[in-house]
Amino acid sequence: MSTARNLAFEPELLDQLVAGRDARAVFERNGILDKLRAALTERFRETEEQDQPDPNGADTQRLQLRFPDLMERMISLHAKGYPPADIQRRLSMFAGEPVPVSVITALLADLRREALDWQSRALEPSYPIIVFERLRVKWRDGATARNRVCHFALGFQSHGPKEVLGLWFEGEDERAFWTDVLADLKQRGVIDVLYVIGSSPHLAAARPQAFPAAHTLPNVGDVVRQSLELAVTKDRSALQTALRAIHGARNAQDALANLMRFESDRFGQKYPAIAPLWHRHWPNLAPFFDVPLEIRRVMASTYAADALRRGYARTLRGHGHMTSTDDATALMYLVVRESLRKWRRPQREWHAAKTQLAMLFPDRFAAN
């Protein structure tokens, strides 16, 4: 009798369930009784799922405690294009015990979530310089294979170190694309930018709406890169030094004189297509020479962008054609993770550049 009393419902609970309803509403098909049964069944199912231990989580934690660099080895193999089965076989040889495929899958899922969180992370409120670069990615839509343009932004922080602000894949409408890119930067916390560097005219058109106080300048690095592509590999180092005399001149007049000198010099004669390339871009490059030389040396540096581009190409080559922007972003994030470890210090030209920035923008630039 006492057991029956303990299992009985409280009168107040029964009154709440049947208040304002007749017997038919309680006992009919899909009535209160059926809904209560379904709700209780769902609740018990959720409780059982929460109480059930995760077998993959225990294996992952145990392996990572025994082998602290297991995650980095898995990332390295994944970046080279190895499928999960091959990654499992190689990690099992390294660990000396079988590594479940479920552990590899769980680690790759964590890496993908980390990449998507990085892509939508909050940014600094101010960047003195943002440089937009691009590369081509092999893409497959069903039976159609094509190249898609991926843009990435290098942001220079006020105290000098660089960071990759994001990755964006260009769509059909380039004008709308650049509007969305700049809106994304604003939404993630960027308030003020001093210089926006990019070669697209649609970027220059979209910039006033997002950052009205910023200055838009052409990307001289693109012209330098196109020039180097016209030369053989063994000449590129010396050619880059010769081109630095053009874009590193004190003013536009000296730069044009150096271009004329280059045209009649050794490399100008050996590669006759380079000088006309600079002449075609010269009207767009004119505003670049209005910036102090110390700042232009930072803007024209292509080392970081070229290192990222090589890393992207090496990683994407192992995976073939991309089919999803999330998958491509996750793979490119692997290159960014590695680069961020090397970019903790500003480049050597930054000290002179920040002095000029503080003089030009005393109210907007703070070297902290």
pTM over 0.85: no
Tokens of 5: 């009393």
**Could you list the pLDDT tens digit for every one of the 368 residues in the chain?**
444 444 455 667 677 777 767 766 666 766 777 677 767 666 655 554 444 444 445 566 666 667 777 777 887 888 777 887 888 888 888 877 777 888 788 878 888 888 889 999 999 999 999 999 988 888 888 778 888 889 999 999 988 888 999 999 988 888 999 999 999 999 999 999 999 999 889 999 999 999 999 999 999 999 999 999 999 999 999 999 999 999 999 999 999 999 999 999 999 999 999 999 999 999 999 899 999 999 999 998 888 888 888 888 888 877 778 888 888 888 888 888 877 777 777 888 898 999 999 999 999 987 66
**Spatial contact of 191 and 241, defined as CB atoms under 8 Å apart:** no
Residue 254: its pLDDT value, please? 94
Q: DSSP for 10-55, please give it.
A: PHHHHHHHHTT--HHHHHSTTSHHHHHHHHHHHHHHHHHHHHS--H
The residue type at 107: L
Measured between alpha carbons, how far is 218 from 277 in angstroms, rounded to an integer?
A: 15
Residue 5: its pLDDT value, please? 43
Residue 223: its pLDDT value, please? 93
Residue 214: its pLDDT value, please? 94
**What pairing do the DSSP bridges indicate for beta strands 215-217 and 162-169?**
unpaired
Residue 46: its pLDDT value, please? 56
- Four-residue CA torsion sign, 223, 225, 229, 233: positive
Distances from the Cα of 123 to the Cα of 118, 127, 311, angstroms:
10, 9, 23
Residue 255: its pLDDT value, please? 94
